[in-house]
Chains A and B, each alone.
Chain A
Amino acid sequence: MKNTNGLLTVKNLVKHFDISGGLLDQLAIEKGHIVRKRTTVKALNTVSLSILPRENLGVVGESGCGKSTLARAILGLYPPNSGEIYYKDKRIDNLTAKEMLPYRKRMQMIFQDPYASLNPRMTVKKTLEEPAFFHNKSITAQDAEDKVAEVMQQVGVDPQWASRYPHEFSGGQRQRISIARALIVDPEFVVADEPVSALDVSIQAQILNLLMDAQEKRGLTYMLITHDLSVVEHVSTRVAVMYLGTICEMAPTKQLFESPRHPYTQALLTAIPKLSRKKTKHIKLKGEVPTPINLPSGCIFHGRCLYANKRCINEIPRLIRMDSGATVACHGVEEGRL
């Protein structure tokens, strides 16, 4: 199938992590026999989505729902177990490292913790020059230097500070530098994994503005991963809600926040703290997120869902496109009882 409109398309992506350890760790005794058991974390279970050019797709969900794994699998940092990833029309999940190289230049990532993602032994200049040289072997030292200064200017860090080390900067400035590192190779697609979660409110606003400006100026496409729904509401054009390695709802931002369909999305939205004296009624979910090692049968959300019935326990719901443009994976919504 051709992917005509998506910049990036993911089809039935599955990523499982084997955490069973060495041979001795895997052995267990069962009914008098020694058996070998493998334990896998099912981080992504047939995830499909498509990101349109110049879109800002927000991916939200609680910790452990697989949002970061999805990002890393898309960028080729984790090889998927099965499924396909397309960049424009080209399948990229089965490429060799060398074939992948031009795509790495087009797809960049911004990480959560700017204290961990910058090499403490490299000056800002070195940090920024490295990708510039790596992806463009013919670039001259002078050009690289100009490029570094230009990008630093763009992200609001004084180019005079290029010879400083990361520890000399505050958290907000470090995050600016890691954004500069992503932008220096002129990417088309940027994955930002919790880019503002480690920052204070006033700094968070600066970084979000910077990301929005960069998108406007450079025509970037974003995949923004965050647990902060109010950030997504503000900057994303479309939102995908993940739960235990599957997408349960995907819709344009306004629509998702105004009329969430999936029971999980509804609960998630009422949990957002709002600036008001009026206490919003939180929808209380039963129990806790199950472990991704033993996934529940049927709809993975059925154990915590207020509306689950027999079908939900037995049958996995498919993502179904509604008339409104949203896609929802819920038997209840499909049957019209929710």
Chain B
Amino acid sequence: MNNLILMPVLWPLLTGIILIFFVKQVRVQKVISFLSSLIAIMIAAAVVYVVKQEGMMTLAMGSWEAPFGIIIAADMLASLLVLTTSIIAAAVLVYSFKGIGTERERYYYYAVFQFLLVGVNGAFLTGDIFNLFVFFEVMLMASYVLLVLGGTKIQLRESLKYIIVNVISSAFFVIAVAYLYAITGTLNMAQLSERVAAVNQPGILSVIAICFLVVFGLKAAIFPFFFWLPGSYYAPPIPVIAIFGALLTKVGVYSIFRTYTLIFHHDQAFTHMILGTLSLLTIVVGVIGAIAYWDVKKIIIYNIVIAVGVILYGISLMNEEAIAGSLLYLIHDMLIKAALFLLIGIMIKVSGTSDLRKMGGLMKQYPYLAWTFFIAAISLAGIPPFSGFAGKLLILKGTVYAESYVGLGIILLSSLMVLYSVFKIFIHGFWGIVNKDYVPKQVSISGLFVPAVVLVVISVMYGVGTEGIYPFISQAAQTILNPEIYINAVLKE
């Protein structure tokens, strides 16, 4: 019992409500949301600290004890993701001050931004599968508004598709929950885990597991459900893409993480084999997209798809190395994707185009931008000592232990291709000669550049200091690999 673990959900909710009252005073909104995001980071850090000290924390909403009431459960995985979310949110928020434009600021941008965080943090922290659906909807509703805010033609067109896809996937979520409830008679994740283990997951439960894979796969953009992602993420302004790319797909990944390690882990030859195959195919299509396009936004968007594939492949192996690797890689990817989107946002702003064939020669005027992008790019590809390396190494170790050499080969090859795709941006955007029609503008970018640099620095520290972070990751991995810890914390209090 600890009320602190509900704060990451309540705090942005409160901030969002307050921001609505100041909707026309943009300056006040900026101050409030900035201070609030700093406090949110402290709250999240406190949650991580408490969970590290005292083990997993739970909170029964309205004192309705588990399994009857809704449980908020903060294990290490959830709290680390909440902390990462808060850091990214603060950085993207500061970027928005210069990068989103007054029009959107005057129409509830900052308030909706906070509501998105309510949904994301809630989805990470909840211990009830129907409550997970509710927080998904909170998050999606906010994302619909952020996606369409501004009302340009491309935004309207892409939001329609995005919303229809998500409405259908929500219906599937409800259907899957209904089936699960009919068979197990509970919605509490810990009790679900117990009951599924008690009957040793017969075929019908594996079918439901695949239902959930479809639902979460649609959010996480795995193959073959990634089709909506490149279009929809292309439409909104850069800060919105950054927050979507860093957080929304990762909520889907987290949900697969949770359900496939806590509840449906008894028939791995079937469910985890499907998950593994799909994630490898996800990597392949992501790589094809990342290499094929000449648009900087499209290249980074397809890199999201690749990373989702890598993380999920680690989960599908279900051994200690691979799970710890997936966790490390998940947090790394959230940080570095947000940073990369912010950096290409600056590139697009100064060069006036997102087409690499028209860009060129930014290095001369913006050397710091170039070298920051360089570091972010090699971190993404996983070159030591930067942040992608340790996670990928552990996942690869996991593939060797599981003797799945196809996965090993595909992940290694994909790293090379990721490196190629981001260096394509570096070579054609920063090197080369300036295109006469798109001469880089001499504008002040410091307001946009600082948050991106902060994210890159955090990500570098995350890479260099992996040794220091590993105890946290290891604790999270222990909880994941031993569902009894989760069950005991929730049910036996």
Partners in one complex: no
Interface residues of B (CB under 8 A from A): none
Interface residues of A (CB under 8 A from B): none
